[in-house]
Structures are given as C-alpha cells and as structure tokens.
C-alpha cells in the first residue's frame, strides 16, 4: 500500500483521530481511506445516470470570509443554466449559509458540488440529489 502525505488543519486531524477512537477504527489512515472511497463513490450511483435530477446544496462559512461569498456568486453565474434558485442567509452570530437548488444531470451537479467543496474557507458543504422525473407511485397518476 502506498503512503501519502496530506496537509490539513490540526482541528480536522483531531476530529479524525477522535472519530477513529469512537468508532473502532484502527487509526486515521483507515478513516481517510473509507472517507475517500465514499467520496469517490458518491456520484457513481447508476440509478441516477441519464435522469433529470434536483440537487440541494447547503454551504456554511464565516461571514468575515468574503472570498467564499464572492466564489459562490461566481459559481452561481458560471452555472446559471444549472442553478434554479439560490438563497443567502445569516445564521448564528458569525456565519452565512448559501443554499443552491440545482436542476440538471448527475455529471453537472457533481461538477458543481466539487467546485464548492474545493472553495477554500467553507466550513461545511452538505447536499442531496434526487430524481425529478419520477416521484414513485404518484408519478403514474394522470
């Protein structure tokens, strides 16, 4: 197995170590390997390929970090054909939340989420993806 060096904030490393201890992992490498496999597999769901999808992405960042808000605005305009709606709100005492509603293909939504995740100084990025071309039994009703 190859050995890889990764830079990360000390706080994140401490959280990984605590997570490993709390959940019975043998160490941080095992946690990072599993997280990597999960991240790489997120958008490989064959049931979603070729379907019309909706994505809901929530981003939280410190309100003093204006570069994140600028990047969010840039992404919104760069992907205006994908972004159906966008909402900005202040949460807590020092944070902003950016909410994106996307409509598009798995590949396009995946690319958008990847660009948000790559944005420096975001605190959290959470999302869900679901098909809008079939909502189960109600989709069959005329």
Enter the pTM of the model.
Answer: 0.69
Contact 83, 99 (CB under 8 A): no
pLDDT of residue 142: 46
- Quick one: 31 and 82 in the same domain? no
- Quick one: 67 and 16 in the same domain? no
pLDDT of residue 80: 94
pLDDT of residue 6: 87
- Quick one: 77 and 118 in the same domain? yes
- Quick one: 105 and 75 in the same domain? yes
pLDDT of residue 131: 85
Query: According to the annotation, is 23 in a ligand binding site?
Result: no
3-state class percentages of the chain: helix first, strand second, coil last, to nearest 5: 45, 25, 30
Number of domains in the chain: 2
Contact 96, 60 (CB under 8 A): yes
Contact 123, 61 (CB under 8 A): yes
pLDDT of residue 138: 46
Query: Cβ of 55: how many Cβ atoms within 10 Å?
Result: 22
Q: What is the pLDDT along the chain (142 residues), one digit of tens a residue?
A: 888 888 988 989 999 998 888 888 888 998 898 888 777 766 666 677 888 899 999 999 988 877 898 999 999 999 999 999 999 999 988 899 999 999 999 889 999 999 999 988 889 999 988 888 766 554 444 4
Query: According to the annotation, is 96 in a ligand binding site?
Result: yes
pLDDT of residue 87: 95
- φ and ψ of 107, to 5 deg: -60, -45
Domain ranges, residue 81: 52-133
Contact 59, 114 (CB under 8 A): no
């Amino acid at each position: 197995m190859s050995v890889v060096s990764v830079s990360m904030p000390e706080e994140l490393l401490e959280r990984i170590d605590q997570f490993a201890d709390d959940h019975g992992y043998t160490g941080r490498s095992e946690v990072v390997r599993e997280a990597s496999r999960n991240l790489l597999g997120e958008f490989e769901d064959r049931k979603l390929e070729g379907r019309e999808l909706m994505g809901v992405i929530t981003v939280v960042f410190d309100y003093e970090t204006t570069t994140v808000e600028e990047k969010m605005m840039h992404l919104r305009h760069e992907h205006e054909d994908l972004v159906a709606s966008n909402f900005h709100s202040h949460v807590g005492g020092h944070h902003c939340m950016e909410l994106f509603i996307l409509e598009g293909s798995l590949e396009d939504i995946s690319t958008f989420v990847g660009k948000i995740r790559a944005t420096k100084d975001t605190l959290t990025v959470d999302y869900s993806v679901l098909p809008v071309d079939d909502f189960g039994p109600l989709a069959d009703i005329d």
